[in-house]
Amino acid sequence: MSLWRYLRLFRKDVLSAQPARLYRAWMAEFRTPFFRSYLCNQPALVDLVLRQRPDDFPKSDRVREGLKPLLGNSVFVTNGETWKRQRRIIDPAFEGGRLRDVFPAMLEAGQGTVSRLATLADGQPREIEAHTSHAAADVIFRTLFSIPIEHSVAAQVFDAFREHQRTQPVVNLGALLPLPRWFPRLRRRRTLRTAAVIRRLIAELTTARMAEIEAGTAPDDLATKIMTTPDPVSGACFEPDEMVDQVAIFFLAGHETSASALAWALYMLALYPEWQDKVAHEASEIFNGAWPDFADVGRLRVSRDCFRETLRLYPPVPMMVREAACPEHFRDRDVPRGSQIVLSSWHLHRHERLWTRPDEFDPDRFETGNGRSCLREAYIPFSAGQRVCTGAGFAMIEGPLLLSMLVRSYRFETVATRPPMPVAHLTVRGQDGIWLRISPR
């Protein structure tokens, strides 16, 4: 299959587009007149690129191109010293202790979601992704800026973001399929307009927050922490514009991914009702008639395993792309400088030579020898190495918490006539959404 056809299929339908051999291959090479692309599935190669020599495999400039109108110079797209400085400022906000501090805000977002679903719990088919998006956006606004999604600026960002997604080409093809630099870039006017609207709204939030910080009245949330943390090396904090870039990526990376994961997790539990009952039972025991506290979340083992297994089968970020900064030699092949290195969690997580029963939903698998070794070497839903997702710890609290709260209150069932078809939008989504029947438990 040519790369062009492959990418067209990939956009159409992630699952059936994949030639079966990519689930068995250690590496696949795609050649075009302009560039070469290498899909790496061998754990040693993934380890080399992500953990051992990440500086030799930076994010390609082309990744930035598609995202620039919205993200500017955010930590997601920068490289080298700029990226290192940004991570030094951002990382402390996501340490364990801080996650404990933002937990009440997450819980409030979960309570809001449980209340909103009450009117929909009538056994009729309901599209659930819209609600998980709403929930994840609420989590981000409450933890970052101490405002609920109902706040007028938060609601406007959320709406503008949905509009932005509709105007964006689905997968970031610019990254997987680098066009030569002279090739004219077409950006739809609406994409540029919606990106500008989102950035203006975010700038309103950060300007207001800066004034509160100066007045000593700022709430102790993630935005205050990030805006007041100096870089330990230079001593300087983020400039206002830089902060807009970072908030844009927290909103994008933090809400799209969690929304996708939660929607697929609910679908998996609807498909496997015995696991759903186990999650509900665990939540009843641990919540014990009240809402959970931070320590309880660590005890939601079944919920965490179900969420983790969902991230294996439906990794929200199905592929990551890097560029070879110097010539390499992979599996007896010369990899020229500038080649695209594709790390596909979609393939790695379902690889037939690595996982036992790769296509089965089995949350217990991580307890076995095969599951444990694959967890170390073939499981990268949050990436790995120095560029690992900043929000991984945050997401592993948010996901199991919301899953348990929802399943504790409601039963979710599949809609036989509407099985979801996974497609690669910014994250892995259902082509026509994910439809479930909801009823009170």
Residues in the site for ligand HEM, rule: CB under 6 A? 75-76, 87, 249-250, 253-254, 257-258, 261, 311, 316-317, 320, 381-383, 387, 389-391, 394-395, 399
Least separation in angstroms between residue 251's CB and ligand HEM is 8
Q: How far is the CB of 58 from ligand HEM (least distance, A)?
A: 10
Residue 382 Cβ vs ligand HEM, minimum distance, rounded to whole Å = 5
Give dist(CA 363, CA 342) in Å, integer. Answer: 27
Nearer to ligand HEM, 23 or 394 (CB): 394
Distance CA 112, CA 23 (A): 40
Residue 295 and residue 76: Cα distance in Å, rounded?
31
Q: Which is nearer to ligand HEM, 355 or 394 (CB)?
A: 394
Minimum distance of ligand HEM from residue 209's CB (angstroms):
16
| CB-nearer residue toward ligand HEM: 303 or 390 | 390
**Measured from the CB of residue 342, what is the shortest distance to ligand HEM in angstroms?**
11
Q: Quick check: 128 and 98 in contact, CB under 8 A?
A: no
Tell me the closest approach of the beta carbon of residue 316 to ligand HEM, in angstroms. 4
Query: Which CB atom, from 139 or from 286, has the smaller least distance to ligand HEM?
Result: 139
Q: Per DSSP, what are the bridge partners of residue 333?
A: 330
Quick one: CA torsion of 218, 402, 355, 52, rounded to 10 degrees? 0
Q: Which is nearer to ligand HEM, 121 or 342 (CB)?
A: 342
Min dist. Cβ of residue 190 to ligand HEM (A): 25
Contact 152, 145 (CB under 8 A): no
End-to-end alpha carbon distance in the chain: 48
Cα(288)–Cα(7) distance, integer angstroms: 49
Nearer to ligand HEM, 121 or 258 (CB): 258
- Nearest 10 degrees: CA dihedral of 208, 210, 214, 217? 60
Closest distance of CB 395 from ligand HEM, Å: 4
Beta strands in 243-327 (DSSP E): 319-323
Four-point Cα dihedral 51, 253, 432, 132, nearest 10: 120
Amino acid occupying residue 74: S
% helix / strand / coil in the chain, to the nearest 5? 55, 10, 30
Nearer to ligand HEM, 195 or 253 (CB): 253
Residues 217 and 419: their CA atoms lie apart, in Å, by 49
- Its sign, for the CA torsion 358, 410, 424, 392, is negative
Distance CA 366, CA 373 (A): 9
Type of residue numbered 235: G
Q: Which residue is nearest to ligand HEM (CB)?
A: 391
Which CB sits closer to ligand HEM, 121 or 374? 374
Task: Count Cβ atoms within 10 A of the Cβ of residue 259 and give its class: 0-12 exposed, 13-18 middle, 19 or more buried.
Answer: buried
Specify whether the CB–CB gap between 177 and 66 falls below 8 A: no
Nearer to ligand HEM, 318 or 437 (CB): 318
Task: State in angstroms the smallest separation of the CB of 77 from ligand HEM.
Answer: 8
Please give the Cα distance from 426 to 14 (Å, whole number): 12
121 versus 389: smaller Cβ distance to ligand HEM = 389
Q: Exposed/middle/buried for 332, CB within 10 Å: 0-12, 13-18, 19+?
A: exposed
Q: Between 245 and 362, whose beta carbon lies closer to ligand HEM? A: 245
Q: Report, in Å, the least distance between residue 118 CB and ligand HEM.
A: 25
Residue 296 C-beta: closest distance to ligand HEM, Å: 20
